[in-house]
Structure 1
Amino acid sequence: MIWCIVLLVLCSLYLNYTLGLSSGVRFDVPFTYEGDGLEYNLLTKTMIETGWWTENPVVGAPDKLEMYDYAIGNTLDFFVMKIISIFTDNYALVMNSYYILGFFLTALCSLYVFRQLRITYPVAVFGSILFPFLFYHFSRISHFNLTAYYMIPLIVLVILWICNGEPLFLKRGEPGEPVHLAVTQKGVIAAIILLISATHPYYGFFGLLFLVVATLWSASRSDTMIPLLNGIISGMLLAVFAILNRLPSLWYGFQHGTSLAISSRAPFEAEEWGLKLIQLLLPAPGHRIDFLADIARKYTVSRPLVNENVSATLGIIGSIGVVILLGWIFIREWQPIQKKFGGRRELMDQLSLFTISGILIGTIGGFSAIIALVFPVIHSYNRISLYIGFFSILAMLIILQIMYEQFRNKPYFCPVFLVLLLAVLTLGVYDQVPAWSSLTSGSDKEREQEFLDQEIYFTHVEDTMPPGASVFILPDIGGFPHSSPPGTINELDSLKPYLHTHDLKWNYPTMKGRFWDNWQVKVATSEPADLLDHLFFTGFTGLLIDGYGYHDEGEAIIEIYQNLTGIEPVISKDGRYAFFDLTGYMDEKKAGMTSPHFEEEKIAYLTTMKANPELNNPLFGTWVRENLSKTGYPDSPGSSKVSSSITPLITVVTPNGGEIWQPGSTQTLQWNYTGNPGSRVTIDALRSGSILTTIASNYPIGEEGSGAFNLTLPPYTPLGSDYRIRVTSTRYPGCTDTSDAPFAISAG
């Protein structure tokens, strides 16, 4: 028990150091409030308010949001957050608490597994801190489901049991007796672990692949069928549990058909988002030591297919473990190795096998490319790096354990060993977690302020409306779960109003490909007067306009609705939102109709809409949105005045195509800006359309509508003719521009 307390205390200290939790971090403001992070804000708030995450009656108006098409499958995550929500109904506090809890759960599960493998407590605590503090845990904060990887140590334990031929579910009795089912303690534990692991699509799937490897390994070394059958039963349990986890989505798809518009995956994505061996060994991006940060940056500049796979880095300690396991096959028979490792040599054999298997599966062009031909849903194979990280840390613990056992009887060895462990552990955390991971950085303060300002605004909007009132949001940003918003609106930004209210209903989000999503596309692209009629017959009494979706920040469309309704909108503090309370306007429209007449008109309207073949075409909304993204979004819904493109608030001037620069030369990057895109920009270098490196982040945008940055090209810059520069507002990431055409890097 004392070592569990030590583990929790150390975990708390390192969390405070890396995240800055005691430096004014607000737990009532979500740690992630943009992009995919908003999706988990929605799911968590839905779970708290409705009991579970699959249906939400206050979004998707005039109907409701049914998320069965989007089978994320993270049942255990929501179950744990459900328990947390017993103590608070603040969804942000629940989410943030679960993110922090993930560190402690991963540490405790790791400690349990290391002790099962006979690693002494001090060494086990060392590894149990390193694993949850991998760079991956911090870089994936916008995907809360990915940061909850505490089941990985547990499934590794089951995999090792399979490798060692443990009779988990079947065993042979006395000689001559047949094989029979056996309820063993390890079998029960394994079944529980497999059930837990099945709740996470990626980690459960990777666990299944390693189970296959372990089963083949064990069966090839046994003269009976028991290891093979135990492995097959384990794999079947994991698969069955995974299917049960997705059963509501499967049943919904059987009843209503599969949504063709929900983003499907193509086999090539397994390579686009695959693992790179070198990325396991590289320093973390933005490393605290400039020299190491420069190494990571140089690779990013000069190599293709660099994306979320940068999160695969394992740090110095994990990298040493990977190198040892990859080279183990060459040194395992060396006499000193056999003598030192003794009975642990077999465990090292297994860890080496799994590490090599993980790399062969996950790496770009590896077995994942073959698996994706028949099962393309799992595409981000770089995430298998967590398993490889655990294997490598365990290998390092075995080496430390051997050192401890050899010298523990020496005078003063134990206290010196403990001090050295603590020092190396601190250096390991320092190495694995960049300083920018702190929740007290400048961008995090901006996130907090944005959330609090919007909390005030939307609370005021809710206070002015009757409970249960429905509000329609303009412009349409592209459905759920993957949106493609116009202007400078960020992906999924239309979720934000719902996150700040409790009694209002909102039209967004709706599931792509379903009837009500198509209806919203039709309404949002209607003439303003027609749009108000649509809202009238479906019970909407509020209209919210997001000015960031229009090149004039919504001035024209706001004026149109002011003239049509005679209502003065409520404008947000930053001028982004304009809210029209249409209650009185709708009452006036209804005043000339008797209740039976209104109900008759309403039924006729809904009947007409539901009979419309366009709205029943699953791809209608997708086609309309794709056409708008190519031809340009109108100044107002249904307006004949259409801009040739969405005028960017930032325009890259130099380089803009055709330039030829030499490595080692100094060049000036220039851009113009209009409106108010914020005071800072991020400058990225692109090659073949992919980000190679971030040249500058949080750089001053400039003065009087123009900005510049002097860039000295490194002498090692690869030659090529497919370079571009992109400049993006740090305040509004949707406000961005890229060189119109590529420029070249040439030797002369």
Structure 2
Amino acid sequence: MILDAALAAAAALACVIFAAWIYRFNEVPLDVPLAYSGDALYYGALIKGVIENGWYLHNPSLGAPFGLDMGPFPMSDNTHFAMLWLIGLFTDEFGSALNVFYLTSFATAAISAFVSMRWMGLNRLFSLCGAILYSLQAYHFLRGGHLFLASYFCLPIFSAFAMGIFAATESSQLSTKSLLGYALLLAVAAGCGIYYALFASLLIGFAAIAGSVEHGCWRPMRLGLAAGLIILIATTASLAPYLQAIHDTTLDGNLTQRDAVETERYGLRMIQMALPTPFHQNDSFRKQADEYRSRAPNVTENRTASIGLIAFLGFMGSLIYVLQRFPAQDPTLRRLGVLNLIAFLFATIGGFASLFAWFATAQFRAPNRISILIAFLSLCFFLLILQNALKKIRRGTLRHAASFAAFLAMLAFGTWDQSLAKSNLLKSNQVIYEHDRASADAIMHHLSPGSRVYQLPYVPYPEAAPLHAEGHTGLMRRFLHSKGIAWSYGSMKFSAVDQWIRRMELSPLRERLGKLAASDFDAVLVERRAYADNGKSVEAELQDYLGPPAMTCPDQSCSLFRLKAFSETEASPLLSTALGSGYSAWETANPGWRSATLKGSRASIQLLNPLKQTIVSRLNLDISTPAPIGLEIWRGGELLHSWNSHNPSSLDMTFELAPGINSLDLRFRGIDNDGMPIIAPAGIRLSKPVIGAVDTPLHLREFQKQVAEADRIFSPN
């Protein structure tokens, strides 16, 4: 046991050192992130949010003036966020936390692989070799930008569970303590992302069915159902904020729109598993991968599927072993082969994943990500075959020498074949990173803590097309390097906050500046790289109203305009509303009209006050229903209004509105001929309500026109 622990620790340390050597971590400061573009900036924001706020769900420094709420975006990574929280106890730099998490993922992958391989019957030497080769897969190096996908230590755990369930019989019993330990381990593994949980469910589910058929008993099925239930509970717990968010709010569009055909685009290809990595150390091998990428259609992220020659030989051998049905088959080898076959049939282009996308849900559009699970199963198969072959050598000394020679040969060739050439990525990132940090320092020098900055142009978050020379998450760099500043970028797409910003964007520039100043914004930042003309036109227009910029970023990537000197006597804050819970989707069939149908007798409305103080506000609400109804409006435990009406009707009321997002609870009741309350009919419609300050009310017709125009301009299509 002690020797196993020491070898697992040695494998973990070796993999971390090797990865650090590949990326030259010794040549740059630790706070320079390994990945610093595209999706990596999204993960950087999550990490900084965890460090500053304790968790990732709410970030008051993004989506100003109301903050970023990550609830509507489904994430099933509680284990990863807990790891980041622990890392954040020792550093307040997002780059350092990102790098430590990434390097730690090499250690955790090696440890879980070593333990699982030992459990499957591999000796210590081959388990050590397999653990290192699994941790140093090309997939690991190529997934640095998708930080949570690079943390795949859960897959050996899932594989061991699937193999154990496959082999279970009625005579194989476990103590209660062991069962509880396994349940906890499975729950932790299930918190490592929705894709890996799906792959686990696929393997464990098949193993349970096949095991019950093979052994003629129900125990594998019972264990499989129990394991599936634990994965479901753990995944649901991770997704609880998302489930709560979609219950409490009616988004103004589909946040995670996916198309079933995307599974073909992001499907798994056997040839890409066999080809060398696109960043191989050997020039000729690298050219092979480049030639395929340049000529084959739909080469996407599936190019990360290369599993190395050793694992690919294990993959092909496992399929042949299962399909040929050799006499006196080793049950462990056969089960590994069957699971490999199932995984491949699921993920390959046109496979079961496509059927799943067309007939169930298209949210799992990248089945190629199962390649790293196939790599583990294939390494186990290859090493077990070799171990069994070496056992036939009768002389112990010769057998040990041959095993050690095979260990060294596989380790040397495998690490060379799978890993990338030494990378200058960190040094390249350091240049951009230091430019961005200098720009943030200059901005913070001109603004006091607590300032709000409106970023131009508007860019949806989190998924949007790149704007000119700026990446799709490039505006996030300002937040990553600043403290005490609230940025408008980062409002969750289609949320109430995003609707507020889209409405702001519809105003002419002079009017918009007035609304921003009145809404307690302190400055406007022009992100030059996001404009075709490097921001020259918008800067010239801003100078007409605000004068010269207060500063220009040292790297010339942005310019800052102060709003404090702006004088607009007619300016007023932008007060807005959004639908909360209790509605069906938006209905926009009629031009200029925008409504939503109630699902039942309870609903809520969100009222947005961008100011830092409470104000007296005015709400106008139009209601259309085929029958008389009653209505009570509550805020918290306070009844604000009680009202009865016939169709059509309008309600106009004033009350105090606190800073931020306020929620009003609407309780409808229908009245039948006997005077007994009934559930309000589904035909009740609420026009999107109008809210304004008492002295500057907005009119319903004007508001509906603005919303319809926002739909046209900011449509995701």
Q: Distance in 1 between matches of 2:367 and 2:612?
A: 59
Separation in 2, partners of 1:321, 1:596 = 63
Say if 1:517 and 1:621, in contact at 8 Å, map to a contact too. Answer: no
Following TM superposition, by how much is the alpha carbon of 1:401 offset from its aligned partner in structure 2, in angstroms?
2.1
Distance in 1 (CA, whole Å) between partners of 2:87 and 2:705 is 41
The amino acid that maps onto 1:624 is I
Look up the match of 1:623: 712
* Stretch of structure 1 that moved more, 39-48 or 607-616: 607-616
Give the CA deviation at 1:410: 3.9
Tell me how far apart the structure 1 counterparts of residues 20 and 398 of structure 2 sit (CA, whole Å): 31
Distance apart, 1:202 and its partner CA: 0.3
Amino acid at match of 1:141: G
Residue type matched to 1:472 in 2?
Y
> CA offsets, 1:608-661, max 9 Å, x none?
4999755996x975631359x9xxxxxxxxxxxxxxxxxxxxxxxxxxxxxxxx
Flag the 1:582–1:434 CA change in 2: closer, same or farther, 3 A. same
Q: After TM superposition, give the deviation of residue 430 of structure 1 in Å.
A: 1.0
* 8 Å CA contact retained: 1:519, 1:615: no
> Shift in Å at residue 141 of structure 1?
0.9
2:527 corresponds to which residue? Answer: 546
Question: Contact 1:590/1:598 (CA < 8 Å) preserved in 2?
Answer: no
Residue identity matched to 1:489: E
Q: For 2:693, what is the secondary structure of its paired residue?
A: helix
**2:112 match:** 109
* Cα 1:115–1:585 shift into 2, 3 Å: same
* Alignment correspondent of 1:348: 333
Q: Does structure 1 conserve the Cα–Cα contact (< 8 Å) formed by 2:391 and 2:399?
A: no
Compared with structure 1, are the counterparts of its residues 415 and 476 closer, same or farther at alpha carbon in structure 2 (3 Å cutoff)? same
Q: Which residue of 2 aligns with 1:63?
A: 66
- The structure 1 residue matched to 2:82, chosen from 65, 79, 82, is 79
Counterpart of 2:424 (choices 428, 436, 440) is 440
**Does the CA-based 8 Å contact 2:455-2:487 persist in structure 1?**
yes
Kindly indicate whether the alpha-carbon contact (under 8 Å) linking 1:25 and 1:439 is maintained by their aligned counterparts in 2. no
- The answer to whether residue 25 in structure 2 is matched with residue 21 in structure 1 is yes
Please tell me the residue identity of whatever aligns with 2:343. Answer: G
CA 1:270 to 1:597, structure 2 compared with 1: closer, same or farther past 3 Å?
A: closer
Structure 1 residue matching 2:149: 3-state secondary structure: helix
Distance in 2, matches of 1:259 and 1:501, equals 30
Match for residue 11 of structure 2?
Answer: 7
CA 1:237–1:615 in structure 2 vs 1: closer, same or farther (change >3 Å)? farther
- CA deviation profile, 1:70-93 (whole Å, cap 9, x unmatched): 112211111011111111111111
What is the one-letter code of the residue matched to 1:498? F
Give the match for residue 429 of structure 1.
415
Kept in 2: contact 1:521–1:624 (CA 8 A): no
Query: Deviations 1:60-79 (Å, cap 9, x if unpaired)?
Result: 11111111111122111110
- Equivalent of residue 227 in structure 1, options 220, 231, 236: 220
Measured in 2, the distance between the counterparts of 1:432 and 1:57 equals 42
Matches of 1:377 and 1:9, distance apart in 2: 36
Q: Specify the alignment match of 2:693 in structure 1.
A: 603
Equivalent position amino acid for 1:603 in 2: A
Shift, 1:419, TM fit: 4.4
Cα offsets for 1:296-347 (capped at 9, x unmatched): 233223322211111111111011101101110355525xxx4xx7xxx100
1:209 equivalent among 202, 216, 230? 202
Conserved in 1, the CA contact under 8 Å of 2:517 and 2:566? Answer: no
Q: Does 1:497 align with 2:497?
A: no
Identify which of 547, 550, 559 aligns with 2:540: 559
- TM-score with structure 2 setting the length: 0.78
Match of 1:176 in 2: none
How many pairs align?
599
- The SS at the match of 1:446 is helix
* Residue aligning to 2:587: none
Alignment-mate amino acid for residue 348 of structure 2: T
CA RMSD of aligned residues (A): 2.9
Unpaired runs of 5+ residues, structure 1, are 174-181, 630-748
Whole-Å separation in 2 of the counterparts to 1:490 and 1:25: 24
Task: Provide the rounded CA distance (Å) in 1 between the counterparts of 2:379 and 2:447.
Answer: 56
Report how far residue 485 of structure 1 moved. 4.4
Distance 1:610 1:101 in 2: 55
Q: For residues 307 and 620 of structure 1, do their structure 2 counterparts lie closer, same or farther at Cα, with a shift above 3 Å needed?
A: farther
SS in 1 for 2:453: strand
Q: What is the identity, as a one-letter code, of the residue corresponding to 2:464? A: S
Choose from 336, 340, 344 the match for 1:359: 344
Q: How does 1:575-594 map to 2 (within 5 A)?
A: 575-585=556-566
Distance change >3 Å, CA 44–CA 358, structure 1 → 2? same
Compute the displacement of 1:604 (Å): 4.7
1:294 pairs with 287, 298, 301, which one?
A: 287
Conserved? CA contact 2:75–2:242, under 8 Å: no
Q: 1:451 to 1:606 in 2, by over 3 A?
A: farther
Q: Quick check: 1:198–1:245 contact (8 Å CA) kept in 2?
A: no
* Counterpart for residue 147 of structure 2: 144
Counterpart for residue 465 of structure 1:
447
Q: Alignment partner of 1:131: what SS?
A: helix
Task: Write out per-residue CA displacement over residues 417-452 of structure 1, whole angstroms, 9 at most, x where no aligned residue.
Answer: 3244123212211111221xx4424xx433211111
| One-letter identity of the residue aligned with 2:277 | A
Q: Which residue of 2 aligns with 1:746?
A: none
Amino acid aligned to 1:570:
M
SS in 2 for 1:30: coil
Alignment partner, residue 251 of structure 1: 244
1-structure distance, mates of 2:59, 2:551: 27
Indicate conservation of the 8 Å contact 1:318/1:392, yes or no.
Answer: yes
**Counterpart mapping for 1:143-162 below 5 A:** 143-162=146-165
Q: 1:328 aligns with which of 300, 321, 324?
A: 321
**What residue is the counterpart of 1:484 in the other structure?**
465
8 Å contact from structure 1 (residues 609, 615) kept in 2: no
Separation in 2, partners of 1:317, 1:75: 33
Change (3 A) 1:615 1:417: farther
CA contact (8 A) 1:515 1:615 kept: no
Match of 2:384 in 1: 398
Structure 2 residue 180 is the aligned partner of structure 1 residue 194:
no
> In the alignment, which residue of structure 2 is the partner of 1:537?
518
Q: What are the residue-to-residue correspondences of 1:270-281 with 2, within 5 Å?
A: 270-281=263-274
Distance in structure 2 (CA, Å) of the matches to 1:321 and 1:614:
62
Pick from 454, 457, 462: which aligns with 1:475?
457
Q: Secondary structure at the match of 1:526?
A: coil
Q: Does structure 2 conserve the Cα–Cα contact (< 8 Å) formed by 1:562 and 1:569? A: no
* Closer, same or farther: CA 616–389 of 1 in aligned 2, 3 Å: farther
Residues of 2 paired with 1:550 and 1:580: CA distance? 17
Q: How far 1:25 moved relative to its partner?
A: 3.2
Query: 1:83-112 CA deviation, whole Å, 9 max, x = no partner?
Result: 111111111111110000000000001111
Q: Distance in 1 between matches of 2:42 and 2:508?
A: 30
Structure 2 portions without partners, runs of 5+: 573-610, 618-691
**Counterpart position of 1:723:** none
Decide whether the 8 Å contact of 2:8 with 2:110 is kept in 1: no
1:386 has 2:372 as partner: yes
Whole-Å separation in 2 of the counterparts to 1:249 and 1:118: 41
Distance in 2 of aligned mates of 1:431 and 1:607 = 68
Q: Which amino acid aligns with 2:265?
A: E
How big is the shift at 1:522?
A: 3.0
Check whether the contact 1:567–1:581 (CA below 8 A) recurs between aligned residues. no
How far is 1:600 from its partner? 6.4
Counterpart residue type for residue 557 of structure 2? R
Assess, with a 3 A threshold, how the Cα gap between structure 1 residues 98 and 482 changes in structure 2: closer, same or farther.
Answer: same
